[in-house]
Amino acid sequence: MSTLFEKIIAREIPAKIEYEDDQCIVIHDIDPQAPTHILVIPKKVIPRVGEAQVEDGALLGHLLLTAGNIAQSLNLEDGYRIVINNGKNGGEAVPHLHVHVLGGRQLSWPPG
């Protein structure tokens, strides 16, 4: 059974796409928690960061570099937060690794 993100990647479900390359897709979150809230999603299905393997290292680096590049292109020069949820208690809602990029307002600490 495909995850929500696999269906978005396959264009079975519409999404507002900000960027895409051969390794990932970047979409706007449908329930934004900040004025800018995007998701950087690998095309390779990794259920969660805690299940990533050594061979996924380059892909994980690519996701973070993409997140930074997209944040810059969206003019988040005042700052932004990168979040990766892992597991139910970590706030994971979709079992497909993804990187949240939140910005456009002052973010509080500690988070939720």
Which active-site residues does the annotation give?
A: 98
| Interatomic CA distance for residues 54 and 52, integer angstroms | 7
Around Cβ 91, how many Cβ atoms within 10 Å?
13
Tokens of 25: 């897709």
